[in-house]
Structure 1
Amino acid sequence: MASLTCLPYYTLLPSHSPSSSSSATTCLVVGNPKRCGLSLKNSRSRQRFGLTTRASVDEVSALDEVSGLAKDAVDDVTSLGRSPLKLKLLSAVAGLNKGLAASEDDLRKADAAAKELEAAGGPVDLSTDLDKLQGRWKLVYSSAFSSRTLGGSRPGPPIGRLLPITLGQVFQRIDILSKDFDNIVELQLGAPWPLPPIEVTATLAHKFEVIGSASVKIVFDKTTVKTTGSLSQLPPLEIPKLPDGLRPSSNTGSSEFEVTYVDSDTRITRGDRDELRVFVIA
């Protein structure tokens, strides 16, 4: 997939090379919640699936919240069989750092779990379900990140070499009325000691159109880089699209992907280079 539906790496931060980040352990409720401390958030996605561990928590309160989580998950789907399949998929990709830490075995397990959920959900028809794409989505897994480059299955900056860059959260913001499709990437850039790391957010702006019943085409427009944290007062820097003559032949500025599963809080897409991506509503 292109530009975070395969990143157009030349627009992100040319010559920089990200390294994978260590992220907090994610614990999914697929067994006995007493096995890990749970701190349940109130947002819709985390209330159902993303549970962050912490040192201590009232077990009685946690059990009450888990009961509510399970009821919400069942109520949110039309078939009782879908809820455990969704949890199975999210469990398979948990702890893989968005796919950066995925092994071949992890890739196979994630793909198999995604196929089960896709089969249970049936064909996606965006002519009637386009409104389900609306909103801000958090990327929890990309099979292409296992290639250890931010370009995924396309050429991109290698991870873990040259300059220290840590990949943070990745989001997609979709507006079905304006046809805006923005990929939002949080990065932390290492700085020479004793300077603190520089935190930035890169927004890769696209326009999208639906092709057929479930395919989406996105066309890259521009990248805007904004410093955050202690340097948030600096103005954003806009990086326009490269002219066709200077653009790498591997990056056409557009890409297509198929939405293979979507409901109110979970979305699965498969890209034009067999890239599997899993999102939850943010």
Structure 2
Amino acid sequence: MPKARLLDAIAGKNRGILASKIDRQAILAAITELELRNPHPLPLTTAIDLLTGNWRLLYTSSQSLLGIDRFPLVQLGTIYQCIRPATSKVYNIAEVNNLIPGLNGIVSIAATFTPVNESRVNVQFNRSIVGLQRLINYTDPDRLISAIESGQKFTAIDLPINRQEGKTPAWLEITYLEESLRISRGNEGSVFVLTKN
């Protein structure tokens, strides 16, 4: 079963942090095999309700995302991608665990998306929030998203992200979607495997 093969391949790889080059090749082959069996090849028009919600990252090849784990004294915690199609918003939230008690952090990017076709969206990053969980009263993604949407400013590094003129937009292609599993590919060649939280 392709789905079981993929889940077995990514098990124990800590979202890709512990994946060797051979592991990454095997995982990519399992992803490609599952993508060929995508039950919703037009997710933005026929399965938008399945896309909605909070997705937890199981695996990625994105070195910029996994690189958060390389900072001294910190360990990458749970990573979420929260999709709100009704408002064309997406929120990437990475929990960062610190080896010093009380210094757990959060890295969040708020973005808007525009469908390009039935499976791909262009993504415009709008706001970056980096801070300590206790200072921004972080408990869970939904509460953080509500605070962001209400316009709240945080005791954190809270900055707008301005798109550079002439720069090609970031995009995300949904290549597999079902009730509890989603696979996406990004413009930088990264792949993401997520489960509905």
Common fold: TM-score over 0.5: yes
The CA RMSD over aligned residues, in Å, is 2.8
Aligned residues: 181
Partner residue, 2:60: 142
How far did 1:253 drift? 9.5
| Cα pair distance change 1:158/1:141, threshold 3 Å | closer
State the percentage of identical aligned residues.
27
Q: Return the match for 1:184 from 72, 93, 105.
A: 93
Higher strand share: 2
Letter in 2 for 1:160: R
| Cα pair distance change 1:203/1:102, threshold 3 Å | same
- The higher radius of gyration belongs to 1
How far did 1:87 drift? 1.4
**TM-score computed with the length of structure 1 as normaliser:** 0.57
How far did 1:197 drift? 5.0
How far did 1:273 drift? 2.3
Note if 1:259 corresponds to 2:174: yes
Distance (whole Å) between structure 1 residues aligned to residue 174 and residue 103 of structure 2: 35
Partner residue, 2:160: 241
Q: Return the match for 1:271 from 162, 171, 186.
A: 186
Distance (whole Å) between structure 1 residues aligned to residue 54 and residue 68 of structure 2: 27
Distance (whole Å) between structure 1 residues aligned to residue 196 and residue 39 of structure 2: 20
Is the Cα contact below 8 Å between 1:225 and 1:236 reproduced in 2?
A: no
Distance (whole Å) between structure 2 residues aligned to residue 233 and residue 273 of structure 1: 33
Note if 1:99 corresponds to 2:4: no
Q: Deviations over 1:236-261 (max 9, x none)?
A: 4351125568x9x9xx6951021100
How far did 1:100 drift? 1.0
| Cα pair distance change 1:232/1:102, threshold 3 Å | same
Letter in 2 for 1:241: P
How far did 1:279 drift? 0.3
| Cα pair distance change 1:167/1:114, threshold 3 Å | same
| Cα pair distance change 1:103/1:129, threshold 3 Å | same
Is the Cα contact below 8 Å between 2:127 and 2:160 reproduced in 1?
A: yes
Partner residue, 1:212: 117
Distance (whole Å) between structure 1 residues aligned to residue 114 and residue 162 of structure 2: 22
Is the Cα contact below 8 Å between 1:204 and 1:220 reproduced in 2?
A: yes
Is the Cα contact below 8 Å between 2:40 and 2:178 reproduced in 1?
A: no
Distance (whole Å) between structure 1 residues aligned to residue 53 and residue 59 of structure 2: 18
Structure 2 counterparts to residues 1-282 of structure 1, below 5 A? 84-121=1-38, 124-125=41-42, 126-145=44-63, 149-150=64-65, 159-160=69-70, 163-191=72-100, 196=101, 198-225=103-130, 227-228=132-133, 236-237=155-156, 239-243=158-162, 254-282=169-197
Partner residue, 2:147: none
User: Does the residue aligned with 1:121 lie in a helix, a strand or coil?
Assistant: coil
Distance (whole Å) between structure 2 residues aligned to residue 254 and residue 239 of structure 1: 22
Distance (whole Å) between structure 2 residues aligned to residue 165 and residue 137 of structure 1: 23
Distance (whole Å) between structure 1 residues aligned to residue 53 and residue 22 of structure 2: 32
**TM-score computed with the length of structure 2 as normaliser:** 0.79
Q: Give unmatched runs, 5+ long, in structure 1.
A: 1-83
| Cα pair distance change 1:85/1:166, threshold 3 Å | same
Q: Deviations over 1:80-124 (max 9, x none)?
A: xxxx21111111111111111111111111111111111122661
